[in-house]
Amino acid sequence: MNLPATSPRWRSTRVAGSDLRDLLLLIADQTGGFDVASEILYMRIHSDRSAEREHDPELLQAGRKLLKRVRFKKGNRRCDYNLAGIARACLTDLEGGPIAAEVARRLRQAVATWEISAFDNNDLLKALLAVQPRAVLDALFEGTEREQRAGVRVFDHLREHRANPADAIPCEALIAWCDLDPETRYLIAASIVAFARHSDDSGPRVWSEQSKALLASTPDPKGVLAVLVKRFRLMAWSGSRAAVIEANARLLDSLNDEIVRRLGSTLDELKDELAQEIESERRRETERDSDRDERFE
């Protein structure tokens, strides 16, 4: 029998927030249930946002409880996407700071012990940095120098191959965080932000807004620039490595006059060093191509 569209059997039922919260937490407690619960919650959050409805406080509470339980595993990109959406909705207030920090600590530990690749949790890291930048940066870079290097590793393999999650940090928040410990934090920040971007689809590379802010604000522009320049030498690239380094080296010609003045002779030294490296790399590429051509003759 065909039922009219207004029949109760054809109406969608929107589960009350408190009931769905309890159900989600019950599901999450089951073996393999965490991913299922996070996907259901993400879909509800997405539905509410699309309908321009306020999120139920009970569901925001459920999201925070789920994030407290997060454990990282390899290759689960779908869960990463769902958790990122949950974090953006549920961790925006003061209560969200400690939770975001704890998730960041677990992420750092999982990357440090090779349990996961940073690539697997790019979306979640970006969301955490967007909603709670200070708490997350504190958590990623707290502790000893070795632990701070582990925090930098969370961003490795991401910067040159896809959007850098550090792009989500507002420049003002980044500088405010650095100013709390300028001797250490400006150098850390220079290690993780995208140092450059393309001015348009086919245009030359230009300094990122974050890099410009770091160079303008740091008490040690020479140290910050040295860290940025070190990253000009990509560990992975396509085509000519010499051409890649040369394109990045041109950034040094576009520094503003005040930065140039503060850098003094350091700038010329860096340019000379890069020029020599580019020339050496070109010779290696020429020799390699020549050897390859001879083998195929």
pLDDT of residue 292: 66
Q: Would you state the structure tokens that stand for residue 285, as one six-digit string?
A: 């590429």
Read off the pLDDT of each residue in 21-33 and give the average, rounded to a whole number: 95
Residue 3's pLDDT band, with cuts at 50, 70 and 90, is very low
Question: Helix or strand or coil: residue 295?
Answer: helix
Do residues 152 and 191 lie in contact, with contact meaning Cβ atoms separated by under 8 Å?
yes
pLDDT in tens, 160-189: 556 899 999 999 999 999 999 999 999 999
- Average per-residue pLDDT in the chain? 89
For 236-249, b/e burial (b = at least 16 CB within 10 A) is eeeeebbebbbebb
- Give the residue, 2 or 32, on which the prediction is more confident: 32
Do residues 54 and 48 lie in contact, with contact meaning Cβ atoms separated by under 8 Å?
yes
Smallest CA-to-CA distance from 174 within 194, 156, 160 is with 194
pLDDT in tens, 177-235: 999 999 999 999 999 999 998 777 667 889 999 999 999 999 999 999 999 999 998 65
93 HSE (CA, 13 A, CB side): 7
Residue 28's pLDDT band, with cuts at 50, 70 and 90, is very high
225 HSE (CA, 13 A, CB side): 25
Alpha-carbon radius of gyration of the chain: 24
Q: Is 120 left (phi over 0), alpha (psi -120 to 50) or beta?
A: alpha
Do residues 189 and 214 lie in contact, with contact meaning Cβ atoms separated by under 8 Å?
yes
Domain extent listing, the chain: 14-169, 174-297
Q: What percent of the chain has pLDDT over 90?
A: 74
| 3-class secondary structure per residue, 62-99 | HHHHHHHCCCCCCCCHHHHHHHHHHHHHHCCCCCHHHH
Is the confidence at residue 2, as pLDDT, over 70?
A: no
DSSP string, 225-287: HHHHHHTTS-SS-SS-HHHHHHHHHGGGGG--HHHHHHHTHHHHHHHHHHHHHHHHHHHHHHH
pTM, entire model: 0.87
Residue 15's pLDDT band, with cuts at 50, 70 and 90, is confident
pLDDT of residue 78: 85
Read off the pLDDT of each residue in 123-139 and give the average, rounded to a whole number: 97
